[in-house]
Amino acid sequence: MAMDAAAAEGSSQKSPLASQRATEEKVKLPSRLFPLEYGKAFSQWWAGITPAAAEASVLQFIPIYSQSLRPATGTEASKPDHTSPPLESTDDRVCASHEVHLTNPKHYLNEFSITRPEEKTKHNLVVLHGYGAGLGFFYKNFDALSKRSGWSLYALDLLGMGRSARPHFKIHAQDRTAKVREAESFFVDSLEDWRKARGLEKFTLMGHSLGGYLATCYALKYPERLEKLILVSPVGIPEDPYAVAAEMPDQESARQAATHQAETAASANVGTGEHAPNPPRRKYPGWFTYLWEANISPFSIVRWGGPLGPRFVSGWTSRRFSFLPEAEAEALHMYSYTLFKQKGSGEYALAYLLAPGAFARDPLKNRFSQIDRNLEIVFMYGDSDWMDAKAGKAVSEALKKDGRKSRFKVIENAGHHLYLDNFESFNSYMDGVLVDTERAA
């Protein structure tokens, strides 16, 4: 599931539970853990809304969506209700949803695009969501990020997540590092397959959270394909010896609790960042260790919950989207529920990439120096972000000290989901980033 809590303070990343407690001191949580009534939960479960329909119900809030096509049908969409007036009829942008099939005939990526068919594309922006989320979470950004002439926008669901194909996930490697690389390649190579299918030579890549981690991995493997790398509250930058030394899952127990969340994670201090031969194992509450090792994740609970599934999901969506208009919050709740209950696939890669505590097994902090020197890297965080913004700032400053292009930005009044919490400021800053990309071309 997507992750959000209080700001990271000090020189180290806060533990999720500590961040959660800090947030609760500022924000009064719902009186019930799962606020959705049983009757409504049953109705939502019984309705059997498809992920495609749920995604469309979110995307309809994009001002230009009335000009789009219905997902995966090719038929014209009926005019939806909007929270803001539609653009003038002179707008030549066209929205479309497609299943883009990859080299493996059983693999495809769900894509939402905004293009100008009558105009030559000079630049492409590709957007990757975070763990457990989907491309629809960026609905507040699509209009603004596609307004510049000469740009095409593509938002993708990661392989094994969202509405993309959900193939069986299995690691064949035996070596620790090889396991990490194989898990990364599951996502990164599918993105490269998608690029080839779309015939794009170069593009600007923006990734949020886990999407930021994977975007960095793509930059490491296919540097010649990127114009700019934009990391929005990326996971996996700081180094933690506990994560580096933690046991890797074996094939029999790989289906572990696959998500780290502010609502369900443990409290712990961050390590010094220095490797030790056998650093002491971090102490976690027994329930957390059990859930992680027994492959009981929030997604599993939703899948097993049947009619209670929507109610379980409301425990997160009621807080995450509480600041939005009711219609939008409801659409996002149903969208989240339909994604969370899908067959497990890409989520099982997480245990190979991250150890309990959301620290990378191969920290990005040690890998940025390997990225093409000519590629500018942008780091963005919310001012109440539980991710370690200081780690991102330190990397950005180190890159600039080495004569490379990088910038660091904190969006005010925003948490981990800064693109949604303060979408206006986020979109404004991103517009400047796109302008600079044009000038550098």
CATH number for 16-48+92-440 (one of 3.40.50.1820, 3.40.50.1580, 2.40.220.10, 3.40.50.261): it is 3.40.50.1820
Both tokens of residue 291? 């859930």
- pLDDT at res. 12: 41
- The question of whether 318 is a catalytic residue gets the answer no
* Exposure string for 271-290, b = 16+ CB within 10 A, e = fewer: beeeeeeebeebebeeebee
- pLDDT at res. 285: 62
- pLDDT at res. 11: 37
How far apart CA 67 and CA 91 sit, in angstroms, is 10
Question: For the chain, which residues score pLDDT lower than 70?
Answer: 1-31, 66-90, 241-298
Q: Which of 385, 396, 417, 421 is catalytic?
A: 385
Q: Is 232 helix (H, G, I), strand (E, B) or coil?
A: strand
Q: Which of 123, 333, 416, 417 is catalytic?
A: 416
First to last CA, the chain: 37
Q: Which of 209, 300, 314, 336 is catalytic?
A: 209
| Rg of the Cα atoms in the chain | 21
- The question of whether 416 is a catalytic residue gets the answer yes
Give strand pairing partners of 320. none
CA torsion 283-288-290-295 (nearest 10°) is -130
Contact, 263 vs 316, CB < 8 A?
A: yes
Comparing CA positions, the residue from 333, 326, 296 lying closest to residue 47 is: 333
